Amino acid sequence: MRTRATLARSLVLAVGLPAATSGALQAQPLTEGDVPSRLQFNFGRAVAVDAAGGVHVAWLSGPTLDPANPGATLGQVFYRRSPDGGAHWEAPRPMTPTPFPFTGHPKVAAAGLHVYVVWHGVSEGTLRVFLAHSPDAGAHWEEPRLVSDNPGGVGTAWPSVAAWGDEVHVVWGDGRTGAAEIYLRSSPNGGHGWTPVRRVSCDDGRSSWTPSVAAEGATVHVAWSDERHNTDSDGRPYDCGRTGQECREEEYYRRSTDFGQTWEDEVRLTADPPGDPRPSWAPSIAVEKGRVHIAFFDRRTGDWQVYDKRSRGDGAAGTWEAEVRLAAHPGVTFARPSVAIRGGRVHVVFWGEWPQAAHVYHVFSPDGGDHFSPPADLTPGGRRALHPSMATSPDGTAHVVWYDQDRRGIDQVFYLRLHPR
C-alpha cells in the first residue's frame, strides 16, 4: 500500500502488474450476440447495486456504435440483473424497442429497491434524455419518461444518474445558451414528479460537459470537465467544440445542500502551469458519509494518467486535498476511471491501452483513500478491454463490468465479482 503523500510524488508503474485479486470469480460474458455490445464513457455508471445486493447492468447493442458521435450510432439499450449479487443472471431486457440512430450512453443507478436507467435518444427530431424506473429491484419497469427540457433543435446528450432513498437526480449537457453547459433535474418520488431543470455550470460561453452526479441525503454533488481555461498559443480563449482545436479542459465541481434548489460556488479541482494548459477529462464521482472522491484522467505529464481527488468535508470549498496519481507509465494511455465507495473501501477501475491490447485495472483502498494498492490487471488475457464501470455491495463485494472482443472479434459485455478483503 502507498499513502496519498507517497503516491502524489511517485510514478506507479504498470509493468508486471499483478493479476486480479485473490478470490475473484472468473469473468463471465453478459452478452453473446452477433452485433457489438458496449459500455460508453465513465462519467456515469453502467452497473449499480440495490439494497438487497442485486446487481444491475445497462449497455448499448447495435450494428454501429460510436460513443463519441451520437449521429454515427445505431443502437438499442439493454438491461440485465442478478438478484443474488452476481451469482446468477436473468435474461437481458431491451429498454428501447429496436436499434435506432442517436440512441446511446445508457447509465444505471439504484437505491433501496428503486432502479433507474437513463439514456439519450431522439424525440420530436431532437436528442433528449429518457429515464426508465423499476420500483421493485428490476422485476418490473414503468414506461420511460422524458426528463430533459431542452428546446427544439438543441440536442441533449451524455446523461448521468444518481439515486438516494426515493430520490433520483439526472444530469446532462446541452447547448441552449450557445455553448454546452451542465443541467440537472431531480425527482423526490421515484421519477413520478420532477423539479424544474436547473443549470449547474456557469454560462461562460465555453463548453462544460461529461457531467457526473452523486447524492447523499439532501446534498447533490456534480463534477464535470470545463473549457473556460482553454486558450490558444496567443492566450485567447476558445471553445474546442466549435473550433476543432485540442480540448484542454479542467475538472470542476459544485454542490447543493438543499436538493438542488440552490448551489454553492463552483470549485476548480485541477490547474495546469500557466501558459501550458493540458487536457483533464471525464470525472467519475462517489460519496459516502461526507467523503467525496472524484477520479479522472489527465495529460499534464504528456501521457494520460489516472488520478483520484478527495474531500473529507462533504465537498465544501477548502476541503479538497491534493490529487493522487493512481496509474502511470510512459507511452501508455490510462483512461476512463470509475470510482465507488462502500464501508470506507474505495475502488477505482480504468483501462490501460498498450500497443497490442487494452486491459482493465483495479486499485483499492481499505481506509477511505489514505492508502491505495498497486494496480491489478483484471483482464490479463484481454484483447480490447475498455470502458470499465464499478459498483459495490453492502457486504463489500465489488462488481466490475467492461467490454472486450470475443473470439470472433465482436465486442461483448463482461462481468467480474471481487470478493471483500
pLDDT in tens, 158-187: 999 999 999 999 999 999 998 899 999 999
At 4, the pLDDT band (50, 70, 90 cuts) reads low
Return the pLDDT at 16. 40
Q: Is the pLDDT of residue 196 over 70?
A: yes
Return the pLDDT at 307. 97
Return the pLDDT at 242. 55
Return the pLDDT at 320. 98
Cα atoms found within 13 Å of the Cα of residue 406, Cβ hemisphere only: 17
Q: DSSP alpha helices (H): ranges in 153-302?
A: 240-243
373 or 278, which is more confident: 373
| Nearest one of 198, 218, 362 to 290, comparing CA atoms | 218
CB 385 within 8 A of CB 360: yes
φ/ψ of residue 70, rounded to 5: -55, -30
Return the pLDDT at 151. 79
Q: Any idea which residue has 460519496 for its cell?
A: 287
| Interval 20-34: pLDDT, tens | 443 445 899 999 999
| Residue type for position 96 | T
Return the pLDDT at 12. 38
Q: What does the domain layout of the chain look like in residue ranges?
A: 2-418
CB 80 within 8 A of CB 61: no
| Nearest one of 322, 394, 327 to 364, comparing CA atoms | 327
414 or 419, which is more confident: 414
| Interval 110-120: pLDDT, tens | 999 999 999 99
CB 85 within 8 A of CB 137: no
Query: Across all residues in the chain, what is the average pLDDT?
Result: 90
At 8, the pLDDT band (50, 70, 90 cuts) reads very low
CB 160 within 8 A of CB 44: yes
CB 148 within 8 A of CB 127: no
Size of the chain, expressed as the number of residues it contains: 421
CATH fold for the domain made of 2-418? Neuraminidase (2.120.10)
Q: Give the chain's largest Cα–Cα span.
A: 58
DSSP 8-state assignment for residue 116: E
Return the pLDDT at 331. 87
| Interval 218-269: pLDDT, tens | 999 999 999 888 777 677 777 775 555 677 889 999 999 999 999 999 999 9
Q: Is the pLDDT of residue 7 over 50?
A: no
